[in-house]
Amino acid sequence: MIELRDVRKFYRSGSGKAEILRGVNLRVEPGEYVAIMGKSGSGKSTMLNLLGTLDLLDSGTYELAGKSVHKMSRGRRARLRNEEVGFVFQHFQLIPNLSVYQNVLLPLTYGRKRLRRKKSRVLALLDEMGISNKKNQKPDRLSGGEKQRVAIARALVNEPRLILADEPTGSLDEETTESILKLFDRVHKNGATIIVITHDIEVAERAERILYLQNGVLV
Amino acid sequence: MKLFTAFKLACYGLWSNRFRVLSAMMGVVIGMFAVIVLTAIAIGVKDTLMKQMGSLGAEQILVLPGRVLDTANGQKDLLSGLTNVPSTLTYEDAKAIQDVPNVKSVTPQLETITIAQYDERNVQSVLVGTSDQYSRIQHADLSEGRFFTKEEQEEEARVIVLGNNIHEALLGKQEVPVEDEGSSDDAQQTKPIWKKVLDKLLGESASAEETSLVGKQVTINEETYEVIGVLAPNATLGSSTDNNIMLPIETALATTDMKNLTKMIVESASIQAVDEVDGAVFNAIKAQHSEIDFSVVKQDQMLGALGKVTSILQMMLFGITVTALLISGTGIMNVMVMSVRERTREIGIRKALGATTSEIMGQFFFETLLLCCIGGAVGIGLGYAFIEVWNNNIEIFALVLPMWAVKLALYTTFGIGSLFGIYPALKAARMKPSNALRFE
């Protein structure tokens, strides 16, 4: 599903360059549940941006679903992201002016997939997440747990093969964290590949494999 | 790129930010309203003036006091040459012109400001001493009575014809400038505003019993005149007869201290003879004067000068319009740039969900375009409503809104939307999703 080879990423820092990822190698099989842990500033978010094709690597190669991401144009990367990747962020990243329903529908709006019943797909997912009664509400009227359920529904709506989650329970209390992790378990059982970036060991332990990012290298 | 998707997203975008959008739209609404109304004023003024000048007739020649300079190409420069000089034209000049071959009629005009008095009501008016041809030449219809005859003119008859406003004012039906000195119209003066408004609404008046002054005596400069007619209202720019009192020129010369003519309108026997009459009239007056202190102007020369004035007016309005549009366009662009900044995180989210650069660009471009087009349509609608209200209530001149102005306004809004929509759209589209998602 994913193959990173000797991936390096630099950021400009003042007059010089800071190397965030120093030759990362990673292979994730389809249907795997992987957790990547690391301290703050270890490059976890950079790793997620590269995996999600939100950012470009400076050297090395990256293959996602058999396609060479590092050789792709910006437009093709956007298409790949839409079709193959679903994001779940720590701060939910819902569009405040859109309703729950519209937020979940958004990936389908940009997608090429000709889903015949977009509306029923969205409603079914909202039902599955237990938030179908909130479909017309704006995100600011929802609790943290409800917002994350909306974000998960949005990540799943396009039936992507890869779910990337960045600290998905970072803003939630214990009880809500557990319900969200159970959702991830369910999604995994349905065959999706999940990569969770976290610094919470309890969250990481739900994964099949835990990797540590230290000084820009996976160990 | 799916244009329809971008358009749909733009509609959503505008709707979800409708309060910000409304304030941004005001700029375009005001800009387009200004374009429509200013164009209608310019064309309305031009049409009215042209119609008035045109109504003189191609066979008519105007004789004015003062010298009109000639331009480099030999045309009369009416814009620079008509100076405020005391008139030296006399009734004798008019009589001399009458003897010129191919002259059908001469209508001299003596004008002064005076106070007309009736039933202890004093009304300021323009006293015009003229010939029996005046009503025909000025296209002034009579609403009551008749105009004075050639015989009455020659007999110095004490008869007058009232303009519509003067007639109404002397009857106490209309407010007009009134001389305070010596006025005993205390009841009218001291009447509270609410009573005046109520009277107007109810169509009542202190002198409502009297409906016409025809046959009555009106005092002007301590001389008494019989009212023989009233002109129908003809409120127009510049040469309205509504505030005039017409009397035979011989009577005016005998009973007032008016001596010099304000102007003369000479009518040629035929259009073909106009050029010949023009020269002959000039020579006839020149023979009576020691210097050339008068001007003889044909209708086409007046229309030419008027055309020049209205062209300047239109150029000025064009400048104001372009400035208004640039200001509103820049305003829209600034609002959209601010909107892009405010919605940076939203752009990041959309990109993370798979929106391409062209889709983001399309959304923001269509948002600006829609904003301009809706604002433009509202502005045009308001402008049209303003013109309708004006034309139904104000008589001085009609506002004219040609179809080309509406089309121009629509194309301009479309142009502004396209032009000023590009920069914010590019700004939004070029954002890196990873940076946009981190934006606070």
Please give the Cα distance from B420 to B152 (Å, whole number): 71
pLDDT at residue B182 is higher than 50: no
pLDDT at residue B82 is higher than 60: no
pLDDT for res B207:
47
B401-423 per-position pLDDT tens digit: 888 878 877 887 788 888 888 88
In this structure, the answer to whether residues B188 and B329 fall within a common structural domain is: no
pLDDT for res B175:
60
In this structure, the answer to whether residues B154 and B196 fall within a common structural domain is: yes
Q: Name the residue in chain A with its Cα closest to that of B15.
A: A97
Q: How far, CA to CA in Å, does A101 sit from each of A112, A137, A157, B309?
A: 19, 8, 11, 62
CB contact (8 A) between residue A82 and residue B353 = yes
Using an 8 Å Cβ cutoff, are B20 and B339 in contact?
yes
Task: Give every CB contact of residue B140 below 8 A, 6+ residues apart in sequence.
Answer: B134, B231, B232, B234, B241
Last residue of a domain, one of B237, B270, B292: B292
> How is residue A166 annotated by DSSP?
E
Half-sphere exposure of A199 (CA within 13 A, CB side): 12
DSSP E strands in B223-262: the ranges are 223-231, 244-248
Residue A81's nearest CA partner among A153, A164, A186 is: A164
Using an 8 Å Cβ cutoff, are B297 and B281 in contact?
no
Interface check B345 vs A, CB under 8 A: yes
pLDDT for res B304:
75
Q: What ranges in B394-402 are assigned the alpha helix state H? A: none
> In which domain, by residue range, is A57 found?
2-95+160-218
Q: Which two tokens stand for residue A86?
A: 């679903």
Using an 8 Å Cβ cutoff, are B245 and B163 in contact?
yes
pLDDT for res B185:
46
In this structure, the answer to whether residues B349 and B408 fall within a common structural domain is: yes
pLDDT for res B227:
94
pLDDT at residue B204 is higher than 60: no
Mean per-residue pLDDT for B170-194?
A: 56
A116-120, B195-199, B243-247: segment of lowest average pLDDT: B195-199
In this structure, the answer to whether residues B123 and B197 fall within a common structural domain is: yes
The verdict on residue A116 lying in a domain is no
Q: Which of A18-22, B12-16, B176-180, B331-335 has the highest mean pLDDT?
A: A18-22
Say which amino acid occupies A103.
N
Q: Which two tokens stand for residue B222?
A: 């301590």
Mean per-residue pLDDT for B188-197?
A: 54
pLDDT, averaged per 10 consecutive residues of chain A (219 residues), comes to 91 80 92 91 88 91 90 90 91 89 90 74 89 91 91 90 89 83 88 91 91 88
| CB within 8 Å of chain A, chain B residues 347-406 | 348-359
The verdict on residue B70 lying in a domain is no
pLDDT at residue B189 is higher than 70: no
In whole angstroms, what separates CA B414 from the centre of its chain? 30
Mean per-residue pLDDT for B85-94?
A: 86
pLDDT for res B236:
56
Interface check B439 vs A, CB under 8 A: no
Interface check B433 vs A, CB under 8 A: yes
Torsion of CA B326, B328, B330, B333, to 10 degrees: -140
CB contact (8 A) between residue A75 and residue B432 = no
CB contact (8 A) between residue B357 and residue A74 = yes
> In which domain, by residue range, is B332 found?
3-53+305-438
Indicate which CATH number applies to the domain containing A30. Answer: 3.40.50.300
The verdict on residue A32 lying in a domain is yes
How many domains does the structure of chain A reveal?
1
pLDDT at residue B104 is higher than 60: yes
Residues in chain A: 219
CB contact (8 A) between residue A78 and residue B346 = no
pLDDT for res B389:
92
| CB within 8 Å of chain B, chain A residues 45-84 | 49, 52, 54-55, 74-75, 78-79, 81-83
Residue B84's nearest CA partner among B299, B257, B293 is: B293
In this structure, the answer to whether residues B48 and B99 fall within a common structural domain is: no
Mean per-residue pLDDT for B208-234?
A: 87
In this structure, the answer to whether residues B238 and B367 fall within a common structural domain is: no
**Model ipTM?**
0.92
Last residue of a domain, one of B233, B257, B292: B292
Interface check A109 vs B, CB under 8 A: yes
Please give the Cα distance from B67 to B84 (Å, whole number): 10
- What Rg, from alpha-carbon coordinates, does chain B have? 31
The verdict on residue A154 lying in a domain is no
What 3-state DSSP class applies to B240?
A: coil
In this structure, the answer to whether residues B406 and B325 fall within a common structural domain is: yes
In this structure, the answer to whether residues B288 and B381 fall within a common structural domain is: no
pLDDT for res B75:
59
The verdict on residue B73 lying in a domain is no
How many domains does the structure of chain B reveal?
2
pLDDT for res B126:
92
B349-367 per-position pLDDT tens digit: 999 999 988 888 888 888 8
pLDDT band with cut points at 50, 70 and 90 for residue B147: very high
Using an 8 Å Cβ cutoff, are B270 and B62 in contact?
no
Mutate to test the interface with B, among A54, A79, A94 (most CBs of B within 10 A): A54
Please give the Cα distance from B3 to A204 (Å, whole number): 43
The verdict on residue B297 lying in a domain is no
